[in-house]
Structure 1
């Protein structure tokens, strides 16, 4: 399991559908492609929020919205990028971003393919049949490739990975 002051796993690649004005409608699919963490964010401060699934009650209503509502406060504290991570496919993550009205180029709704990063970190969630293995509910702050905060939820609540917890850790 990963710990504070560990390096973020090298070579991590997400799958991501970049926002474009042409694909702004939720019915427009866009084209997924790789997003290499080291290349894009290696020298930046990044907040990563992992959710078990897009469009699920806690994620949709309580977890992601406070971060989006407070992007300017995060940026004022030096956050260069905000990433929402789930094992959902990239089209679902793109639609989740669109439904949340995200058009900020510092916000990324990305796929953790096969929950690979979350497995590597030790933060997966096994749900009942039909739902399968998912990314757990957690938050990370990564500064210049080093993990400076880990908020891995101990149960089904929303405490250490909440906006308030991350904001306090910045």
Structure 2
């Protein structure tokens, strides 16, 4: 299945994440991964999913995620209830990536798509060399009340999945 604008967001999607709390704010502190049930948490909300092939990689760290962090208040002012940064990395790496980016808002979530299963199921995975395996591709999705309003996959760069494109689509 290839997901496109106008489609109903798939049901039963679950990611994993470590919720931010002051007790696990230190980069060396580890929380416990918990499920993020998309249907339960976001069925009546507007959510931006921004996917990256890997935390701490050059483009993701320098160009892709920091602008979302910097413009989070603008995203919220345009009706976004949550931003989910998604990667096939494990939830501990994703949690550390959020901490390094200075994110402390519970509605800015660094989650994992285990084995890129969700991304594969909607045609948004990428096969990288064996050392990396199958990953989430670089993409952005805006889901509003269970319907995909915007979806863009980038083959290179962040033109379609970056914060400017997402803001323009809101």
In the alignment, the residues of structure 1 paired with residue 100 and residue 3 of structure 2 have an alpha-carbon distance, to the nearest angstrom, of: 32
- Report runs of 4+ in structure 1 exceeding 4 Å deviation: none
Q: TM-score when scaled to structure 2?
A: 0.98
Corresponding residue number in structure 2 for 1:35:
36
In the alignment, the residues of structure 2 paired with residue 20 and residue 157 of structure 1 have an alpha-carbon distance, to the nearest angstrom, of: 32
Residue aligned with 2:165, SS: helix
Corresponding residue number in structure 2 for 1:6:
7
Using the TM superposition, give the Cα deviation of residue 83 of structure 1 relative to its aligned residue in structure 2, in angstroms. Answer: 0.5
In the alignment, the residues of structure 2 paired with residue 76 and residue 99 of structure 1 have an alpha-carbon distance, to the nearest angstrom, of: 24
Residue aligned with 2:63, SS: helix
Question: Which is further off, 155-164 or 88-97?
Answer: 155-164
Using the TM superposition, give the Cα deviation of residue 65 of structure 1 relative to its aligned residue in structure 2, in angstroms. Answer: 0.5
Residue aligned with 2:141, SS: strand
Using the TM superposition, give the Cα deviation of residue 20 of structure 1 relative to its aligned residue in structure 2, in angstroms. Answer: 1.0
Matches within 5 A, 1:14-33: 14-33=15-34
Using the TM superposition, give the Cα deviation of residue 78 of structure 1 relative to its aligned residue in structure 2, in angstroms. Answer: 0.3
Corresponding residue number in structure 2 for 1:165:
165
In the alignment, the residues of structure 1 paired with residue 157 and residue 71 of structure 2 have an alpha-carbon distance, to the nearest angstrom, of: 21
Matches within 5 A, 1:1-170: 1-153=2-154, 155-170=155-170
Using the TM superposition, give the Cα deviation of residue 121 of structure 1 relative to its aligned residue in structure 2, in angstroms. Answer: 1.1
In the alignment, the residues of structure 2 paired with residue 5 and residue 120 of structure 1 have an alpha-carbon distance, to the nearest angstrom, of: 17
In the alignment, the residues of structure 2 paired with residue 30 and residue 147 of structure 1 have an alpha-carbon distance, to the nearest angstrom, of: 31
Using the TM superposition, give the Cα deviation of residue 115 of structure 1 relative to its aligned residue in structure 2, in angstroms. Answer: 0.4
In the alignment, the residues of structure 2 paired with residue 116 and residue 20 of structure 1 have an alpha-carbon distance, to the nearest angstrom, of: 27
Aligned CA RMSD, in angstroms, stands at 0.6
Using the TM superposition, give the Cα deviation of residue 124 of structure 1 relative to its aligned residue in structure 2, in angstroms. Answer: 0.6
**Structure 2 residues not aligned, in runs of 5+:** none
Using the TM superposition, give the Cα deviation of residue 146 of structure 1 relative to its aligned residue in structure 2, in angstroms. Answer: 0.4
In the alignment, the residues of structure 2 paired with residue 162 and residue 20 of structure 1 have an alpha-carbon distance, to the nearest angstrom, of: 27
Using the TM superposition, give the Cα deviation of residue 34 of structure 1 relative to its aligned residue in structure 2, in angstroms. Answer: 0.5
Using the TM superposition, give the Cα deviation of residue 103 of structure 1 relative to its aligned residue in structure 2, in angstroms. Answer: 0.4
**Structure 1 residues not aligned, in runs of 5+:** none
In the alignment, the residues of structure 2 paired with residue 82 and residue 165 of structure 1 have an alpha-carbon distance, to the nearest angstrom, of: 14
Q: TM-score when scaled to structure 1?
A: 0.98
